[in-house]
Amino acid sequence: ADLRDAEMIQFHPTGLGGVSAHQVPLLTEALRGDGALLVTSDDPGSADGLKPLAIPHPLGALGPRDLVARTVYERLKSGYPVWLDARQVLHLNDHFPTACSLARQNGFDPLTELLPVVPVAHYVMGGVRTDLAGRTSVSGLYAVGEAASTGVHGANRLASNSLLECLVFGRACAQAVLDEALRTPADLSPPLTAIPDKRPPNALSQDFRRRIQDVVFGAAGPIREASALEKGLAELTVLERQWTGAKQTASSSGKFQQDFAGFRSFLETENLFLVAQTVLTAALKNKASHGAHYRCDAVS
């Protein structure tokens, strides 16, 4: 199927830092709307001399998500910490129970402590190119939701617009699928692709998944440039070669498994290599900055 805008990945500026998991919890932007501040320090090792994070926009920390995320990213890359200070937010526990719970689950008390933040990949504007009913370039294949590229988000989605997209396009897609199914004889349905009976152990797939994520974020994070993208693609080639070897070793040593978790993890890791290479290639080819795709070496 045809893809579109694979490089258009939106980053959330306030993932909770200091978390070891690769799925970082988000601290809602509504916290800043209610008075929480993004702060930093010129002392890399402490919170002494706190000051507001300087964001080049009239609205400061309430500015566009991509700009805030890039500012946080640049500050962290320079070796200085960034925190969300929510201590002055009124009725914090009552108004933001989820954020408070996430912070406490990860060892932070938002009522008395600064919350370290990091930008995290949040939403993909690109995907499988579709029409208004979710049809793709492949007959009989439909896509809807974040997997689809409908074009309604442009290069920078507005918060929560994806929910409206799902309501509108989800209904249209369901109706189109139903109409096609009623017109398609059962004997014309494509056969299911055979899947392997056994897969590598789940831990192996998860390890490679984390390594792919690290490469992609390092190369195609909030700020991108050609040299980093080219390096990332080269690293993915090496990593994919290692993955092939690891699968062969696991198979010959009798460590392949049949559990569902291993099956799902195996498929996701296999697909993730292709997705990662597609994202980095698209980001490399798009030499201009547009919305969430920011090239520091952009051609003006």
pLDDT in tens, 59-89: 999 999 999 999 999 999 999 999 999 999 9
The string of pLDDT tens digits covering residues 203-241 is: 888 899 999 999 999 999 999 999 999 999 999 999 999
pTM of the complete model:
0.88
Average pLDDT over residues 92-118: 96
pLDDT of residue 259: 60
Q: Do residues 68 and 24 touch, judged by C-beta distance below 8 A?
A: no
Boundaries of every domain in the chain = 8-122, 125-188, 202-285
d(CA 92, CA 102): 13
d(CA 255, CA 67): 47
Residue 8 binned pLDDT confidence (cut-offs 50, 70, 90): very high
Residue of 32, 65, 135, 199 with catalytic role:
65
pLDDT(198) > 70: no
CATH number for the 8-122 domain, one of 3.40.50.300, 3.40.50.2300, 3.90.700.10, 3.30.300.130? Answer: 3.90.700.10
pLDDT(299) > 80: no
Angle between helices 260-285 and 226-252 (to 10 degrees): 160
Higher pLDDT, 195 or 57: 57
**Both ends of the chain: CA-CA distance in Å?**
32
pLDDT of residue 256: 60
Architecture of domain 202-285: Up-down Bundle (1.20)
Q: Among candidates 167, 141, 117, 122, which has minimal Cα distance to 8? A: 122
pLDDT of residue 153: 93
Say what percent of the chain tops pLDDT 70: 91
d(CA 299, CA 155): 17
The string of pLDDT tens digits covering residues 249-276 is: 877 766 666 566 667 788 889 999 999 9
- Please indicate whether residue 65 is annotated as part of the active site: yes
pLDDT(193) > 70: no
pLDDT of residue 244: 92
The string of pLDDT tens digits covering residues 150-187 is: 999 999 998 889 999 999 999 999 999 999 988 887 77
